[in-house]
A and B are shown apart, each in its own frame.
Chain A
Amino acid sequence: MSTTAHPGARTTGFRALAVGAWASVAVSLYFIFFVAREADASMGGQLQRIFYLHVPSAWIAYIAFATVFIASVAYLRTGARKWDLVAHSAAELGVVFSSLVLITGPIWARPVWGTWWQWDARLTSALVMWLTYAGYLLLRGLADDGSQIARSAAIVGIAGFINVPFVHFSVQWFRTLHPSGPAVGDAAGGSTLGGTELLAFFSALIAFTLLFAWLLAVRVRLGVLADEVGRLELEGDLADGPRPARPVPATT
């Protein structure tokens, strides 16, 4: 390991991503609250604005879980630690963003549908996804020492993602209440939403995507640094021999 290129060093691209992500979040917030027209009362009026958070969160959750799948396959093929880190990091982010989906949805649904929750296809599959990846994180967290948990987690990451279409089709056969071209006007949805709402929606989508990329980079970097700390500790222990009482550093 060279001394100049530290494994956790913040590169220029990393910094640019951070700036871009937060700038686009600011722009998107402006569009959402000051540009986008208020929606019809049937969609909740002002409440509909929560969808600029809700739908991009769902989008990012799926991106994150797809990332877990791809990184898990790559890890099993190559055995490279970085892929395991990417899968683990993406799973954490996926659970965070799908939690946001599961929290923001009911906040809107309660006044508009008159109920917090419906066992509708989209809601049910979102919950199944959340449980799948919560299980993935629990598996990693509760691993026995020295087990091959990275490989096992990769299996869960793969099996859980393959399951998505099955869950989708099977719960689809239940009644579906969820607005299908969500209240943000996808082109085919025949939605009444105009340009300002689309602007807000797509700016939010871009902001969330950049934010996800940045958070993933931050989380992977954290993992790299944690590995490095572990390696240095091990190295130090070996060099010190049978552990003389190591002086505790004054600063922690």
Chain B
Amino acid sequence: MSAVPAPGARGWAGKTLLLARKDLVIEVRGRDTLPPMLVFSLAVTLLLAFTLPDTSRPSARVVLPVGTASVADVLAGFLWVTVLFAGLVGFARSFEVERHEGAIDALLLVPLDRSGLYLAKAMTNLAFIVAVELFLFPVFAVLFPIGLGAGVVAVVVLVDVGFVAIGTLFAALAAQTRSRELMLPVLAFPVLVPVFIAAVELTSDLFLGRPTGVVVGAGWFGILVAFDLIYAVVGALAFEYVIE
């Protein structure tokens, strides 16, 4: 921490990175967001496991008695539900740290465009959600019959960007209400529906080691990319109206 230049000497990107770094330093010292997120995700996984039939039986691996869903379809859904829950629990805290001792006022005094503040918070949230996924995906691969291929990484990256773009923006909105932790999922889940569907559809094939149809896969990737781009821009533009 010794060679940090004065904030005024930095450009937009430098200040943004510095703010993200500030949040990460707070987390490293306080550890009050990521460890609960990780344990929470494991707790959700545990509960979801009780809803599955015995996967050791060969018949159960093919078809579940819920319509036409295979175990892999359901597991992909479980995995992403867990990621969304853990993510939103964590994102809801991203503006909590600014509430103490008027930190938000100091933050707003930083000579930086509001889009930089948004990006800094989004980068911190991205770091949290990636950490959760690095923990959760192997846990799922160990506990459930799924395979993790390289293709999963591409899906995860695209999903995370859209998730964080929405999650960070709506966390700032929800922070202005009396019921912050509840309002964030209420606001974010409906908007995240397309991301969630795309994530489940793309990963359920990958988990089974089944090739995704080129057309279908391209369609879902297209939806994800468009969603990410539009909501990253919306978030960056909208942030100046949210934070005042």
Q: Report which A residues bind B (CB closer than 8 A).
A: 76, 128-129, 131-132, 134-136, 138-139, 142-144, 147-149, 151-152, 154-156, 158-160, 162-163, 166-167, 169-171, 173
Q: Report which B residues bind A (CB closer than 8 A).
A: 166, 169-170, 172-174, 176-179, 183, 186-187, 189-191, 193-194, 197-198, 201, 216, 219-220, 223, 226-227, 230-231, 234, 238, 241-242, 244
| Contact indicator B241/A151 (Cβ below 8 Å) | yes
**Complex Cα–Cα for A120 and B230 (A):** 26
Quick one: which of A135, A136, A138, A163 contacts B194, CB cutoff 8 A? A163
**Complex Cα–Cα for A147 and B95 (A):** 14
Interchain Cβ contacts under 8 Å between A and B, 17 examples:
A135-B186, A138-B183, A139-B173, A139-B183, A143-B177, A143-B178, A144-B176, A152-B172, A152-B176, A152-B241, A163-B190, A166-B227, A167-B194, A170-B197, A170-B198, A173-B201, A173-B216
| Contact indicator B242/A151 (Cβ below 8 Å) | yes
| Contact indicator B173/A152 (Cβ below 8 Å) | yes
| Contact indicator A158/B176 (Cβ below 8 Å) | no
Please give the distance in Å from A137's CB to the nearest CB on chain B.
Answer: 10
| Contact indicator A160/B176 (Cβ below 8 Å) | no
Q: 12 new A-B pairs (CB below 8 Å) besides A131-B186, A144-B176, A156-B170?
A: A134-B186, A135-B187, A139-B174, A144-B177, A147-B177, A149-B177, A152-B241, A155-B169, A155-B238, A158-B238, A160-B191, A167-B193
User: Chain B: which residue is nearest A149 at the CB level?
Assistant: B176
Q: A142-B178, A142-B179 are in contact. Are A156 and B173 (CB under 8 A)?
A: yes
**Complex Cα–Cα for A52 and B176 (A):** 41
Please give the distance in Å from B105's CB to the nearest CB on chain A.
Answer: 14
Nearest 4 CB-CB pairings of A with B: A166-B194, A147-B176, A170-B194, A142-B177
**Complex Cα–Cα for A85 and B172 (A):** 22
Q: Contacts of B183 on A, CB cut-off 8 Å?
A: 135, 138-139, 142
Q: Contacts of B219 on A, CB cut-off 8 Å?
A: 173
Please give the distance in Å from A250's CB to the nearest CB on chain B.
Answer: 36
| Contact indicator A171/B193 (Cβ below 8 Å) | yes
| Contact indicator B197/A171 (Cβ below 8 Å) | yes
Q: Contacts of A159 on B, CB cut-off 8 Å?
A: 166, 169-170, 191, 231, 234, 238
Quick one: which of A142, A152, A160 contacts B242, CB cutoff 8 A? A152
Q: Contacts of A163 on B, CB cut-off 8 Å?
A: 190-191, 193-194
Please give the distance in Å from B8's CB to the nearest CB on chain A.
Answer: 28
Quick one: which of B177, B190, B201, B223 contacts A169, CB cutoff 8 A? B223
Q: A142-B178, A144-B177 are in contact. Are A162 and B230 (CB under 8 A)?
A: yes
Please give the distance in Å from A220's CB to the nearest CB on chain B.
Answer: 22
Please give the distance in Å from A233's CB to the nearest CB on chain B.
Answer: 23
Please give the distance in Å from B178's CB to the nearest CB on chain A.
Answer: 5
Please give the distance in Å from B179's CB to the nearest CB on chain A.
Answer: 5
Please give the distance in Å from B192's CB to the nearest CB on chain A.
Answer: 9
| Contact indicator B223/A170 (Cβ below 8 Å) | yes
Quick one: which of A128, A154, A162 contacts B190, CB cutoff 8 A? A128
Q: Contacts of B178 on A, CB cut-off 8 Å?
A: 142-144
Please give the distance in Å from B220's CB to the nearest CB on chain A.
Answer: 8
Residue among A149, A154, A160, A169 having the largest count of chain B Cβ atoms under 10 Å: A169
User: Chain B: which residue is nearest A133 at the CB level?
Assistant: B190
| Contact indicator A156/B194 (Cβ below 8 Å) | no
**Complex Cα–Cα for A187 and B179 (A):** 48
Q: Contacts of B197 on A, CB cut-off 8 Å?
A: 170-171, 173
Please give the distance in Å from B183's CB to the nearest CB on chain A.
Answer: 6
| Contact indicator B241/A154 (Cβ below 8 Å) | yes
**Complex Cα–Cα for A152 and B95 (A):** 15
| Contact indicator B169/A132 (Cβ below 8 Å) | no
**Complex Cα–Cα for A170 and B219 (A):** 9
User: Chain B: which residue is nearest A75 at the CB level?
Assistant: B241
Q: Contacts of A132 on B, CB cut-off 8 Å?
A: 190-191
